[in-house]
A and B are shown apart, each in its own frame.
Chain A
Amino acid sequence: MNLRLKIAAAFLPLAAWPAAAQQQPPSPAPSALETLGAMRPTGSTAEWPEIPQTGAKADKVKENLKKVKLPAGFHISLYALVPDARHISVGPQGVATFVGTRKSKVWVVTDRSRGGVGDEVKEFAPTLPKKIPNGPCFSKDGFLYIAEQNRVLEYPAAEFFYESPDVVASVVVAEGELIPKSEESYNHTARVCRVGPDNKLYIQLGQPYNVPTKEKNELYRKLGIGGIIRMDRDGKNREVYAIGLRNPVGMDFNPKDRSLWTNDNQVDGMGDDQPPGELNRIASAGLDFGFPWYGGGKVRTNEYKTDTPPANVVFPQVEQAAHAADLGLIFYTGTMFPQKYRGAIFSAQHGSWNRTVPVGARLMVTFLKDDGQVAGKSEPFAEGWNENGYYLGRPVDVAQLADGSLLVSDDLVGALYRIWYDGK
């Protein structure tokens, strides 16, 4: 379906179709996606409530943020309460911010007062059912993509249409076609997408096991599961872009050299302190990052210990704390922060889920050299959510607002935080 043409036409006859639509017999009932894709209203009269932004919870979250330590001159504040907040995409017009979840909703956050606070939080496209819509990403020309568990939809002009509960959507990857139905799992199923500098849509696919069997591994490598796939923005010309990853949840392109950087979450059950997590640089198509032969860094998995790994495995640029769960990352392109942060990578560490003593739950920064390689280990930038093993919050993703300040999502608290710099 060529929705781009339809959109252009649709702004004109908006008033013409409801009467005709109402006279249609009710059966067979089209799905909400079919109705919306045809630019028709669903007729839903369901309530469309806002998430309350004040009260005891907001006060407690603000109180807890006082424990978060940042470099001098930086500040953190509550931007919005957003239930189950996962990956973030800031609209290119700077009007609305879209936040995915691992449940069934996507939230849209609007700074109505234009005061650096997301004071209106509503469900995005509530009339369209979604399954694990974790990963929203925008194209520069304002098309919003949302990668779900096993589907990808395109929402044209999302920053315009989101003001109505009925939002136009079209299919990029139909339900059941992102991965085979038989391989669906709740494990490692939070997808992240990016529109690349080549205008293609990149999607991260975690593989569902701790360590897959050889049979599964063979299938997965062909499909790009445990890797990154890319396709045209209409879903055509799908190909495997990178392979040998385990559960990548967070990626961004370095605007300087167009390399794609990804975090990857590594094998569980090998002890509290190994294997390390990974920050990887993908310089070109077709690279192999070594999983499941390597379980993280150069640590071999028990299951593949006696097998010969593929030739030319690419090892990580940075080995992170074991089990710390490095998720969303961005290259900082703003000018609000001091010079040394420009071009650096900000990356959210969710915090371990099964380590005896939890590690992580912080925002990391990684500096690069002029040649595009890392200058050293990632350093903590914002920390304090891990209070002796008790989580006050778990950062998931980081995004940049138009003014150069950062947004950080937290799916434990259900919040977005804003980090800004004034040097004071």
Chain B
Amino acid sequence: MSVVKLIAPAGLLLAGGSPSHAGDVKAGGAKAMMCQACHGLDGLSKTPDAPNIAGQIEPYLVMQMQAFKSGLRKNDAMSVVMPPLSDKDIEDLAAYFSAIEIKIVRVPGE
């Protein structure tokens, strides 16, 4: 997928900053079919009640998906979609959506 680019600075990896989640971006992209109607394959919201998740922080995505899966956090759509997913599915999806590069074009007032 051309919109996805992984940037892994060598220095960070050498310094022991290995990513805490073992998600597979490509596998996540395939699984994202079930997310596209609301969040888009580009991670940009397609409905008024779903957030943008492109470039979202990877551990945060994992944490929230796990919270929907366990029932800790509730939402009509997410509470239906998450329970059947495995930990691996969740990590792959988080890897995919967090790997979408985004850019701030303008901040109000600037």
- The residues of A that contact B37 with a CB separation of less than 8 Å are 351-354, 358, 391, 394
Q: Known A102-B48, A353-B37, A356-B33; judge A185-B76 contact (CB<8 A).
A: yes
* Cβ–Cβ contact A210 & B76, under 8 A: yes
Q: Enumerate 9 A-B pairs (CB-CB under 8 Å) in ascending A order.
A: A132-B48, A209-B76, A210-B80, A268-B77, A353-B37, A357-B33, A358-B34, A390-B36, A394-B37
In the complex with contacts A132-B48, A390-B41, A358-B36 CB distance below 8 A: yes
Task: Name the one of B34, B48, B76 contacting A355, with C-beta atoms under 8 angstroms.
Answer: B34
Q: Is B63 close to A, CB under 8 A?
A: no
B36 touches A391 (CB 8 A): yes
Given pairs A102-B47, A390-B36, 20 additional interface contacts (CB within 8 A) = A102-B48, A103-B48, A186-B48, A186-B49, A187-B76, A208-B76, A210-B79, A268-B80, A352-B37, A353-B77, A354-B77, A354-B80, A354-B81, A357-B33, A358-B34, A358-B36, A389-B33, A390-B33, A391-B37, A411-B46
- Docked complex Cα distance between A210 and B77 (Å): 8
In the bound complex, CA of A356 to CA of B83 (Å) = 14
Q: How many A-B residue pairs have CB under 8 A?
A: 46
- Do B34 and A356 touch across chains, with their CB atoms under 8 A apart? yes
Report Cα–Cα, A208/B77, bound state, in Å: 11
Within the complex, the shortest CB–CB distance from B102 to chain A, in Å, comes to 20
| Interface check A39, CB cutoff 8 A | no
Q: Which of B78-107 contact A (CB under 8 A)?
A: 79-81, 83
- Chain B 16-51 per-residue mask, 1 if CB under 8 angstroms from chain A, else 0: 000000000000000001101110010000111100
- B35 to A, closest residue via Cβ: A354
Interface residue SS majority, chain A: loop
A394 to B37, CA, bound (A): 9
Shortest Cβ distance from residue A411 to the other chain B in the assembled complex, whole angstroms: 8
Closest Cβ neighbor of A358 among chain B residues:
B33
Contact B41 A269 (CB under 8 A): no
**Considering only CB atoms, which chain A residue lies closest to B40 in the complex?**
A412
For chain B, the bracket of interface size reads 10 to 19
Q: Which residues of B contact A103 (CB under 8 A)?
A: 48
* In the complex, residue of chain B having the shortest beta-carbon distance to the beta carbon of A394: B37
Give every chain A residue within 8 A of B77 (Cβ-Cβ): 187, 268, 353-354
Interchain CB contact under 8 A, B46 and A412: yes
Closest 5 CB pairs of A and B: A353-B37, A186-B49, A269-B80, A187-B76, A268-B80
Distance A45 CA – B33 CA, assembled complex (angstroms): 44
Residues of A within 8 A of B49 (CB): 186-187
Provide the bound-state CA to CA distance between A390 and B42, in Å: 12
A391 surroundings in chain B (CB, below 8 A): 36-37
Chain B residues with CB below 8 A from A357, complex form: 33
Given the known A-B contacts A187-B76, A209-B76, are A354 and B48 also in contact in the complex, defined by CB atoms under 8 Å?
no
Given the complex, which residues of B lie within 8 Å of A356, measured CB to CB? 33-34
Q: Which residue of A lies closest to B76 (CB)?
A: A187
Scan A193-218; emit 1 where CB is below 8 A from any B CB, else 0.
00000000000000011100000000
CA distance A185 to B41 in the complex (A): 25
B43 to chain A, nearest CB (A): 15
Across the interface, which residues of A come within 8 angstroms of B33, CB to CB? 356-358, 389-390
Which residue of the partner chain B has the closest CB to A269? B80
- Residue of A with least CB distance to B36: A391
CA distance A56 to B45 in the complex (A): 21
A356 to B93, CA, bound (A): 13
Q: How far is the CA of A411 from the CA of B48 in the complex (A)?
A: 11
8 Å CB interface, A32-90 against B: none
Give the docked Cα–Cα distance between A355 and B35 (Å). 9
CB distance from B87 to the nearest CB of A (A): 18
